[in-house]
Structure 1
Amino acid sequence: MRRFYLMIILLIGLGFSTSAQTIRGVVRDTAQTIIGATVSVSGQKQRAGTDASGRYEIKLSAPGTYTVFVTYIGYQTLQKVVTVKAGESKELDFLLQTNNNDLNDVVVVGSRSAPRSYLDTPVPVDVVDIKKLTQNAPQVTLNQILNFVAPSFTSNVMSLTDGTDHIDPASLRGLGPDQVLVLINGKRRHTTSLININGSLGKGSVGTDLNAIPTSAIKRVEILRDGAAAQYGSDAIAGVINIILNDNVNQLNSSVTAGGYAGKHSDGLDGQTVQANVNYGVALNDKGGFLNLSGSFDYRDFASRTTPYKGVIFTDYNNPALYPTPTGKDITDAELQRRGLSRSDFVPNIGQSQNRGGALFFNSVIPVSNGAEVYAFGGLNYRNGRSTAFYRTPRQLTQNIATIYPNGFLPDIVTSNLDQSIAVGIRGNLGLWKVDLSNNFGRNKIDLQTENSLNASMLTTSPTSFESGGFAFSQNTTNLDFSRFYKNTLKGLNVAFGFENRLENYKIIPGEEASYVNYGNAIQVGTDGNGKPILVPDPKGNIATRFAANGQAYAGGAQGFPGISKDNLTNASRSSVAAYADVEANFTEKWLVDGALRFENYSDFGSTLNGKIATRYKFSDQFLLRGAFSTGFRAPSLHQRYFSATSTVFVDGAFVESGTFANDSRVAQLLGIPKLKQETSDSYSLGFTSNLGKFKLTVDAYLIQIKNRVIYTGQFSGSNAAGASAQDKEIYDLLRQANATTARFFANAVDTRTKGLDAVLTYTTPLAIGTFRADFAATLSRTDIVHGIHASPLLAGKENIYLDNASRILIEKVTPRFKANLTLDYTVNKWNVFLRNVYFGAVSQPTNVAANEQVLPGRVITDAGVGYNLTKSLKLTIGSNNIFDVYPAELLPGSQGTSGILYPNQAPQFGFLGRYVFTRLALSL
């Protein structure tokens, strides 16, 4: 009997051992675990999907040697051979690599569930393969790459806009640069410290400097074209740009691109550019740990497209030897001949500023235990730029000292731009939940110098270069995120929630005293015995004491870019806390509903609650219908709340010294400018996708309504005339103290409505012995100001200054309402041919003069490139942007003014420098 029991126990034991062979493990890529990957065993029926932690488990019927496969859309199929002994539980992990052929199919932005195909998302997402584009396309900076690839994205190199000449503002769906949120690896990116105040695209806004991120560090860019404030917070009214950093290992990629402009207006080959890039990644262990490093060097030279100076350059005041009793008579032509000069010697650089700098970026992941890993990424970017202001001609007696500059001078504005960022986090599994704790710090600092200039009020003692001050902005964001996938609830339910704390600091750093003071000002402290006023020098005085030969008072501060006054010294901070919840439910295999809710509280303006609901229904593998509704918000930036300075702006052919004043300033109180509050929005979208194999199509319509949109006002001025009101006299005195003649502010002044339609089509097929791909994308959009202007009673009769016509055009008509591109790419053997046509639709020139109103018609810009693989590792590409040397329409004479402006620098559709030719050498090892 005892032997019988032993046999029973042995048989049971054998039964357990023969049924207990298992393989289990984790499937991940270099950035995250993968949910929903399929794990299968060759020759067996067993298969499993990875769970919310990326884990799988398969039971095997018998011991032996098996081949195990893992597949997931957008990744290369991976297989491993494993030997499993009787009763053994074998750990078998997989590290997937992206499939470059399917890279454009997979997105992670917009959902806290598993990555999915862009054709399956409930809201539209574009995916841009940066690695491929930087091999073939002429553009080398991220802003310009996206401008020519994504129709809903607009950005151009600016000119005559001070610091904005070096930080390109960018727009999504025709809205402002501060109405799109930028993420890196899904984490919020800080904005620049510079605010755009000089009449450019995005006037009055603060954007993110995309060009601070070297293209060598970027794997792909995801552009979420839908309101996402309920998911990601402030700024995501127009959408989200998520930059995914490179994670490849054991591969060296480097390239050098050199080129220049060779069009009809070029001086031979001008505006030369050089960009060098390098990227290399190393594996830190066999568990998916890696460190990926990227670097770049950029150089960009001046390029200018001007006409000779048209106005008066010399008057008889400039030649006292011939004109001892001057009257202001124009003697330009005679004096030019006598001095051996021409009118072309008196124009600014209008087109492209000079810039040079470099960047270092890294991306890394280090597994620390089963299901947990530490990650970090960030970088450093430094750029030094030089642009010019308007030429100060000799006739401008109050702005020049002839003994220093006999022929006048062209001021240089030198911008030093330092950008730093570091993000560190840990993510892993806490029971059945995925947890991600991170801290992300970013900082941008800009220092400004004015060179080849002077302070006329200092007379002959004036220096010719000035430290003009600068700006700094820092942001620290801490996130704690939880998510869990319930596989057996409905057809799959993903629940996510989290918390965010953000700290921001904004500084305005004054320049040296001589850069902003008028040393000719004085105040009256009494009268002497003869009744004459007793004057005491005072920079804030309202009495001028130093006069040019024509009897007018000398200007104070550095010409070209007046320095920042110590009165503008600012060190402002704020904090915000947020909590969000996100539920994504697959009610059936075809029907998905995604809902999000976010509460956010700001220390300086209060709380906001926003929500979003999105859905998609998959009628078949070939057709999907999707739609979304969301509410959103944008907190006014610290820059908009606290920025104050004086700058030189060009307005309808003339330039003026304009002061920007904070909303709590005395000038703002006199005009009834209210305190800033948040912008709020409603966003609607409806569209469909179609997957017909080689042919893929997405079409989406949208409507975005924004209330209390922040604008940068027109220019208010005071008066010291005898009959002026007390209000205007006080404004006049306050402006004089700021070395300004006009005043501008930030205000929640208008509501806008933006509606549009986006379409994206792709077609890929083998052709002959090669591969052919065609991409067509188009956007049709329109932004209108609705519901009138929100003005206070104190502004009655001044509404057209509060929102002047130029500002209205910059909101409604400065980005193309229609934009489309068609890209053809053919690869055969060692050759690659790239051809792209982009249509930039009509825009309008910002102006406040009815006679200067002008519609700039649309143009087609053609890019072409040919690449050849010299060896397996070395590729040579030559090509051109704007190969047919197309230019925008010339400005009307009234907008050109006297300073030589020929093409629109405030409403650039595609730039106006003409044909650009380039060559690129790329090495991959």
Structure 2
Amino acid sequence: MRKPLLVSLFLLLVLSVAGPAWAQSITVTGRVTGANGAAVPGATVLERGTTNGTPTDNTGRYRIEVPNTATLVFSAIGLTTQQIPVNGRTTVDVQLADSKTDLSEVVVTGSRATEGRSNILTASPVDVISAREIRAFAQTDVSQVLTYAAPSFQSSRQSITDGTDFIDPASLRGLGPDQVLVLVNGKRRHTQSLVNINGSIGRGSVGTDLNTIPTASIKRIEVLRDGAAALYGSDAIAGVINIQLKDDSTGVNSSALYGQTTESDGKTEQVDFNVGIGLNKRGFIDLSGQFLNRGYVNRAFEDTAPLIYLGANGGNYPASANTEDARRQLKAQDDALVATNGFNRKDIRVGQSATRNFGGFLNAGYRLGMGYEVYLSGGASYRTGRGPGFNRLPNQPTQSDPNIFPNGFLPFINTKIYDQSAIVGVRKTFGGFAADLSNTFGRNELGYYVSGSINASLPQGADRINPTDFYAGRLAFLQNTTNLGFSRHFTDLGPLETFNLAFGGEFRYDRFLIGKGEYASYANFGRVASNGSPAVPGAQVFPGYQPQDETNQSRTNVAGYLDLESDITARLLLHLAGRAERYSDFGGNVSGQASARYTLTDALSFRGTVGNGFRAPSLQQRYFVNTSTQFVSGVANQVLTVNNENPIVRNDISNTTQPGFGVEPLKQEKSTNYSAGLTSRIGKSFTLTVDAYQIDIHDRIVLSSQFTTANPTVAAILKGLPVSRVQFFANAVNTRTRGIDIIANERLTLGERSRLLLTAAANFNETKVQSVNSSSSTINNDPTAGTSNLQNTLFDRSQRARLENGNPRSKINLSANYSYGIFGIEARTVRFGEIQIKDADPARSNLDQTFSAKWITDLTLSAQIMKQIGVIVGVNNLFNVYPDKIYVNPRNNPNNFSVDPTLSYSSTLDNSNRGRFLYPANQFGFIGAYYFARVNFTL
């Protein structure tokens, strides 16, 4: 009996896997046209119930192999979807009518309903960036694509900010990089290991490295512009970015891009590919890969230091040169040395760093039979980077070695970034409930390597060979998330039109690690410089992580959620969500959200949301510590970033063993969000959405300003430590963010072969610090008067300006896409609003400066030469626009600027600006006009 049973089971398995192939396969061809009879290129032709599909070519024709009993599904944006049975036919032509209700993209972000909704029919605002938009211009990474495509999103590349040079900080709706949650295929994406501790946007935050995902792997990006902590958990205060990977089952696509700036730098070489493979009509494998080589950009100006070889710190005149004649003679001698040694006064590099990235991604799904479906996605990337610090002059004996670098040196930080991720899951319907069990793993590691530098504390001499390259240590972050969710869509439930129920749970494990550098990268060998001062220890530009910095910390999180969504009537949509979470290291939180959408007429609807959220302090913010060398007005300072668990932060000043600042442990940020808006559809193709919002954040986590030992209280706390400044994380401020998003689209058919798509989008936002929090008696009772008072230093006016005005308060995007047959032209202009920089010292408020708004215009021309080959040529920043240059007094004419060498606006200016770094306002970068060409191949 057992043998027939085994044979039966074997035959059942064969039938379940190969059964569909028994039906006779035929090749079906045809043409897809629109309501006016014009060809519809790029329409999707799909075998219903499978992933077997193909797009139409530029004449609207297609070719697909299907069983003779198949049903074909024809769809295109702006046109009504049709389903047509083949019934053995080998030719099927179809004419799609204009859609009155489905012009916009269907989205799944922001709801756990089993069926997606058009993005103008959702209760919360969602932007959709398609694969076509991603590849239309020269942006080669995700953060830059979103910056120019989504007005509420902002990211710009940083310069001379250590690791932040290589991982771009990004914000949504003017909030921090760590207040937006990133998903891939609806699953939580791990964050980066890097903590932004220098003077950049997002200072003190830990974001997500979006640029580890190849653009070739992306089907679309959905940007939910609403607080969603109740739906997705911690970090979703500002909103959610959901990256949907391609799920093609047929075809090969690849592209090659080359571009450079008009200054002949910033060269970019990119090659990518995407391959879709069908699996016997039951599934697919989609593979993508990318190689990107991006050259550096240098927009430094000449060093205005009076003395290069004979000066004091920062190239200033020594105190001994106290007469005009003495200064004139010293200047002449120094100029002669500059000429003799060929010293280049463009002695630093200001602009984007050089990087090289290798990355790949996989997305796959397969139906096993008996209702089970398994899915898998994951990727890996390896990125190297090279970015400069500030140079060391030959007249800085505490930081240089004249035997090795007689003319000073420009040190470099080199990075190696490894990123791996994997999502594996299974879906099945049980008793009408769709069940989804998944596990998501992610890891990000950043290794630091310093080159062209020295440890100045090493003994020096002509007979010594001291190292100039150092391994400075590494950061690593690992996250593993297990989810189990259930959902069910009801259509016959009393008076309700529809009802969707979703619930589930999540378990997450996080781990953060700091690994020490090699001994010479951080050690103090005790040399005393020629001026009698101790030489600075550690590798110049980036001292290595020390043994006492090493960290290996972890935590767990358990969460449960409930999600209810119903079309109460044909006009009223109501959505309720709740989530409870508990962290092993600081406790729990409950958040909730209520959203509604009401259709007043066919052309006008209103929507709104109210909810509360939270963001747990990241492990990086809790446990990060390091010592770095930073320049303030040309003077080197050893700056200690100490974690919140350290006695220096937690103990009170009265502690006789180890006095401290008396700051409380980090706790979660709590937020309350409100939004209200309208959506409108006029005619067949015009859509408009307007959404206003307010986000209040209490106990917002920030990195404090730097406390200096010039303050006696600080000196008492730091006694015995070889540092002159200290900073730490604290729940220091309460903020309120208000804004409005406006998006309008129009699609016009101008003739049989021509179409025009117009888009206008804008974001206006304002963040205000409502209050500064401090429960520390040490800080509150510090007797020191003036600007050095600890209460003023905890969150000084320059940090406040960075939070309130560091990102543009407005951004406007106008774009037009016109196609005629095989040709296309796309124009886009983006207005980046003004930003403001303030000095930390209120007495120097005359140095505050507002940097004006700028328009950046991009233009591309495209031609589909043949079905397999397309060409795009274009220019970004067509009119070669740069930010305003820095000048002393905002009331001066910005075209007649002068530079104050003692400016201390941010770390990039603190590091002895000396007229070299004149673009501190980084609204959109400062690389100027950029030309490129791309060739697309399709097989």
Please state which band the TM-score falls in when normalised by the shorter chain. Answer: 0.7 to 0.9
Pair 1:749 & 2:736 matched: no
- Evaluate the alpha carbon distance shift between residue 730 and residue 790 of structure 1 in structure 2; reply closer, same or farther with a 3 A threshold: closer
Pair 1:568 & 2:549 matched: yes
Pair 1:703 & 2:694 matched: yes
- Pairing 1:30-49 to 2, within 5 Å after superposition: none
2:925 equivalent in structure 1: 911
Q: 2:103–2:685: 8 Å Cα contact kept in structure 1?
A: no
- In structure 2, what is the Cα distance between the partners aligned to 1:317 and 1:627? 63
Q: 1:285 offset after TM fit, Å?
A: 1.9
Letter in 1 for 2:271: A
1:763 equivalent in structure 2: 746
**Among 709, 717, 731, which residue is 2:718 paired with?**
731
- In structure 2, what is the Cα distance between the partners aligned to 1:903 and 1:635? 37
Letter in 2 for 1:916: Y
Deviations 1:421-467 (A, max 9, x none): 00100012112100000000000011101111001110325311111
2:774 equivalent in structure 1: 790
Aligned residue for 1:340, secondary structure, equals helix
Q: 1:565 offset after TM fit, Å?
A: 0.6
Pair 1:589 & 2:570 matched: yes
1:477 equivalent in structure 2: 481
Q: 2:346–2:916: 8 Å Cα contact kept in structure 1?
A: no
- Pairing 1:318-397 to 2, within 5 Å after superposition: 331=330, 334-338=333-337, 339-341=339-341, 344-345=344-345, 347-397=347-397
- In structure 2, what is the Cα distance between the partners aligned to 1:54 and 1:486? 21
Q: 1:68 offset after TM fit, Å?
A: 5.9
**Among 669, 672, 682, which residue is 1:682 paired with?**
672
* Gaps in structure 1 of 5+ consecutive residues: 1-24, 26-52, 56-64, 84-98, 319-324, 521-545
- In structure 2, what is the Cα distance between the partners aligned to 1:695 and 1:243? 26
Deviations 1:305-352 (A, max 9, x none): 11111114434489xxxxxx9989874653453453566445221111
Range that drifts further, 647-656 or 838-847? 647-656
Pair 1:642 & 2:623 matched: yes
- In structure 2, what is the Cα distance between the partners aligned to 1:434 and 1:72? 26
1:311 equivalent in structure 2: 305
- In structure 2, what is the Cα distance between the partners aligned to 1:497 and 1:651? 54
- Evaluate the alpha carbon distance shift between residue 807 and residue 653 of structure 1 in structure 2; reply closer, same or farther with a 3 A threshold: farther
- In structure 2, what is the Cα distance between the partners aligned to 1:488 and 1:829? 48
Q: 1:621 offset after TM fit, Å?
A: 2.6
- Pairing 1:187-586 to 2, within 5 Å after superposition: 187-262=187-262, 266=263, 269-287=264-282, 289-316=283-310, 331=330, 334-338=333-337, 339-341=339-341, 344-345=344-345, 347-460=347-460, 461=464, 462-489=466-493, 490-520=496-526, 546-586=527-567
- Evaluate the alpha carbon distance shift between residue 801 and residue 374 of structure 1 in structure 2; reply closer, same or farther with a 3 A threshold: same
- In structure 1, what is the Cα distance between the partners aligned to 2:886 and 2:734? 30
| Cα RMSD for the two superposed structures | 2.5
2:708 equivalent in structure 1: 717
Q: 1:752 offset after TM fit, Å?
A: 0.3
Q: 1:913 offset after TM fit, Å?
A: 1.2
Q: 1:71 offset after TM fit, Å?
A: 7.8
- Evaluate the alpha carbon distance shift between residue 593 and residue 898 of structure 1 in structure 2; reply closer, same or farther with a 3 A threshold: closer
Q: 1:73 offset after TM fit, Å?
A: 8.8
Letter in 1 for 2:594: I
- In structure 1, what is the Cα distance between the partners aligned to 2:128 and 2:567? 24
- In structure 1, what is the Cα distance between the partners aligned to 2:636 and 2:336? 27
- In structure 2, what is the Cα distance between the partners aligned to 1:182 and 1:663? 26
- In structure 2, what is the Cα distance between the partners aligned to 1:856 and 1:598? 42
Range that drifts further, 646-655 or 764-773? 646-655
Range that drifts further, 65-74 or 163-172? 65-74
Letter in 2 for 1:742: R
Q: 1:791 offset after TM fit, Å?
A: 4.5
- What is the total number of aligned residue pairs between the two structures? 803
Q: 1:127 offset after TM fit, Å?
A: 0.3
- In structure 2, what is the Cα distance between the partners aligned to 1:867 and 1:70? 29
- In structure 1, what is the Cα distance between the partners aligned to 2:685 and 2:310? 74
Q: 1:729 offset after TM fit, Å?
A: 3.2
Q: 2:420–2:444: 8 Å Cα contact kept in structure 1?
A: yes
Q: 1:733 offset after TM fit, Å?
A: 2.0
- In structure 2, what is the Cα distance between the partners aligned to 1:732 and 1:344? 41
Letter in 2 for 1:812: E
Deviations 1:113-167 (A, max 9, x none): 11110011000000001x2124321212111111011110000111001111010
- Evaluate the alpha carbon distance shift between residue 69 and residue 276 of structure 1 in structure 2; reply closer, same or farther with a 3 A threshold: closer
Larger radius of gyration: 1
Aligned residue for 2:167, secondary structure, equals coil
- Evaluate the alpha carbon distance shift between residue 491 and residue 831 of structure 1 in structure 2; reply closer, same or farther with a 3 A threshold: same
1:80 equivalent in structure 2: 85
- Evaluate the alpha carbon distance shift between residue 805 and residue 767 of structure 1 in structure 2; reply closer, same or farther with a 3 A threshold: same
Q: 1:307–1:344: 8 Å Cα contact kept in structure 2?
A: no
Range that drifts further, 452-461 or 67-76? 67-76
- Evaluate the alpha carbon distance shift between residue 651 and residue 861 of structure 1 in structure 2; reply closer, same or farther with a 3 A threshold: farther
Pair 1:125 & 2:120 matched: no
Q: 1:313–1:393: 8 Å Cα contact kept in structure 2?
A: no
Q: 2:610–2:673: 8 Å Cα contact kept in structure 1?
A: yes
Q: 1:227 offset after TM fit, Å?
A: 0.4
1:857 equivalent in structure 2: 852
- In structure 2, what is the Cα distance between the partners aligned to 1:782 and 1:903? 26
Q: 1:317–1:549: 8 Å Cα contact kept in structure 2?
A: no
Q: 2:301–2:918: 8 Å Cα contact kept in structure 1?
A: no
2:40 equivalent in structure 1: none
- Evaluate the alpha carbon distance shift between residue 691 and residue 485 of structure 1 in structure 2; reply closer, same or farther with a 3 A threshold: same
Q: 1:348–1:900: 8 Å Cα contact kept in structure 2?
A: no
Aligned residue for 1:397, secondary structure, equals coil
Deviations 1:722-766 (A, max 9, x none): xx56x62341422x1xxx321000000010000000000000011
Letter in 2 for 1:387: G
Q: 1:790 offset after TM fit, Å?
A: 2.9
Query: Given the two structures, how large is their TM-score scaled by the length of structure 1?
Result: 0.84
Q: 1:549 offset after TM fit, Å?
A: 1.6
- In structure 2, what is the Cα distance between the partners aligned to 1:770 and 1:746? 56
* Gaps in structure 2 of 5+ consecutive residues: 1-19, 21-47, 51-67, 89-98, 313-318, 652-659, 781-788, 888-898, 904-908
Letter in 2 for 1:166: F
- In structure 2, what is the Cα distance between the partners aligned to 1:457 and 1:364? 55
Aligned residue for 2:596, secondary structure, equals strand
- In structure 2, what is the Cα distance between the partners aligned to 1:617 and 1:72? 28
- Evaluate the alpha carbon distance shift between residue 72 and residue 132 of structure 1 in structure 2; reply closer, same or farther with a 3 A threshold: closer
- Evaluate the alpha carbon distance shift between residue 498 and residue 491 of structure 1 in structure 2; reply closer, same or farther with a 3 A threshold: same
**Among 755, 764, 779, which residue is 2:763 paired with?**
779
Letter in 1 for 2:127: D
Aligned residue for 2:720, secondary structure, equals helix
- In structure 1, what is the Cα distance between the partners aligned to 2:249 and 2:86? 23
- Evaluate the alpha carbon distance shift between residue 396 and residue 595 of structure 1 in structure 2; reply closer, same or farther with a 3 A threshold: same
- In structure 2, what is the Cα distance between the partners aligned to 1:684 and 1:215? 33
- In structure 1, what is the Cα distance between the partners aligned to 2:341 and 2:303? 12
